[in-house]
Amino acid sequence: MRKPSAGSVRVGIGGWIFEPWRGVFYPDGLPQKRELEFASRKLSTIEINGTYYGSQKAEAFARWHDETPSNFVFSLKGPRFATNRRVLAEAAPSIERFIGSGILELKDKLGPINWQFMPTKTFDPDDFAAFLRLLPATHEGRSLRHAVEVRHESFKERSFVELARQHKVAIVLAGDSHFPLIADQTADFVYARIMGTSAEELLGYARNSIEQWAGRANVWRQGGYPDDLALLSAKRPVAGRDVFLNVISGFKERNPAAAMAIIDRLRQA
């Protein structure tokens, strides 16, 4: 039985429109306009990637809300116009436009916002602190959760972890990739993106890797830290954390299968 104080675990993929999934993940003949409806009933979260490249209409967010089950949650990519800039302290207009663009039409299905940075973006403590101060904790009465996906080795230090913790912003954990893996938890939720699916594995990952990621998610859910992931700062256990684990990149054709296998393993546990 799950402890009442523990968080929830949501497992999903990035996006839902991908032609090679048709006839593999999506049944033959399923209309494209029903793909989100189908995917959201097999998975428990999806990261919307289109918001990284350009603005979406409020009507689209409202439609996505209506097409998905009541317990489904989306995460969003923040716009690249906010993160792909030399001076992050100047990102306020881009952030404000995005937050006010209609994302609240997702209502209770609005999950974390992932602010992804280019692999060439290095850690400048003052400028990054200025960026974190621009991220609003609420908008029109609704709480917002933020995560930062940093992909340069210069971020792999305790001062960055403490900075994110100070602002209650999660650090995206980049699993099975060439990006730096930072496992310290700095918010009341965990945001993991795992990128190691393979064409050779029917489920994308080998069974032991499925077991490993499900086990890590369960530890995070209960407020702990997996023993096999090194930390840059001291452990700060809490009662529980919500977990968002997305299977991203790798051999993308297998990502839905990997996500569903992790969900199955969590149910067994």
Give 132's DSSP letter: H
> Model confidence at 153, in pLDDT bands (50, 70, 90)?
very high
Q: What is the pLDDT of residue 237?
A: 81
Q: Which domains does the chain have, with CATH numbers?
A: 9-268 (3.20.20.410)
pLDDT of residue 201: 98
pLDDT of 45 higher than 70:
yes
pLDDT at 4 over 90: no
Which two structure tokens, joined as six digits, stand for 261? 């296998």
CB 51 within 8 A of CB 77: yes
What local confidence, expressed as pLDDT, does residue 91 receive? 98
Whether 68 shows a pLDDT value over 70: the answer reads yes
Q: Which residues pair with 193 in a beta bridge?
A: 174, 246
Question: Whole-model pTM?
Answer: 0.96
Which pLDDT score is estimated for 1?
A: 37
Q: Are 218 and 269 in contact (CB under 8 A)?
A: yes
